[in-house]
Structure 1
Amino acid sequence: MRQGTKNWQALGRLPRGRMNKTEASYAVHLERRKAAGEVAWWVFEGVKLRLADATFYDTDFTVMLSTGELEVHEVKGHWTDDARVKIKVAAAQYPFRFIALKKSRDASGWKVEEF
């Protein structure tokens, strides 16, 4: 690693608030849904949910549907055990619909998993 680079680069992570390619692709998808009137509002990494002492779940996308319902959308290329546990705990504690999305190679665009 070059001097001055951050540890997150070694882990393949981007700094907080910056989308990776999959997240950016999903943001485009959300904008299309917004233009179609299905989504009223969304934010990237705008909500942090407390799960326990010193344990938090940072949402990828918090989405308000046109019906007023709030959903949490987690965009993944690969699941770690820690991430899967956190979303399950968050889904049990908070009254939002939690959805995980993975880029699909077929025409649907996204593989959906609900928690």
Structure 2
Amino acid sequence: MKREILALGRMKAGQMNKTEAEYAEHLEILKRTGEIAWYRFEGMKFRLADNTFYTPDFAVMRPDGELEMHEVKGFWRDDARVKIKVAADIYPVEFVAVKKKTRREGLGWEMEHF
């Protein structure tokens, strides 16, 4: 039987985990090549309901000025999927789930748009 290992706590607000830091490096390359205009870690916070908020990992501005919210995950839990779907239903902003590909999958980033 495979046991699931869970972290005892979350990263402090404003502090990136390893996968988020790797994605930030990827976004920096996209910014330098003009594929995006701007990005910021935990740059926006969205109210989903009373006392329920969602802070995407990255706010990203495309060159045309449109905003996207990128949520970076090594793997997805159901509660995180629910929050991004609810936010996508409420707000007129594109939400993007970003998953790091494994070596077997060819590396890079897999994007799912909501």
Q: TM-score range by the shorter chain?
A: 0.7 to 0.9
Moved >4 Å (runs of 4+)? none
Q: In 1, Cα distance between the equivalents of 2:106 and 2:74?
A: 18
Instruction: Specify the code of the residue in structure 1 equivalent to 2:40.
Output: V
- 1:6-45 map, 5 Å: 10-11=8-9, 13-45=10-42
Q: List per-residue Cα deviations over 1:60-109 (Å, max 9, x = no partner).
A: 00000111010000000122221111100000011111110111134460
Aligned partners of 1:80 and 1:107: how far apart in 2? 23
Structure 2 partner of 1:92: 89
SS in structure 2 opposite 1:34?
Answer: helix
Residue pair 2:101, 2:109 contacting (<8 A) in 1 also: yes
Three-state SS of the structure 2 residue aligned to 1:39 is coil
Amino acid at match of 1:112: M
Structure 2 unaligned spans of 5+: 1-6
| Unaligned segments of structure 1, at least 5 residues | 1-8
Percent identical among aligned pairs is 60
RMSD over aligned CA atoms reads 1.3
**Helix, strand or coil for the counterpart of 1:62?**
strand
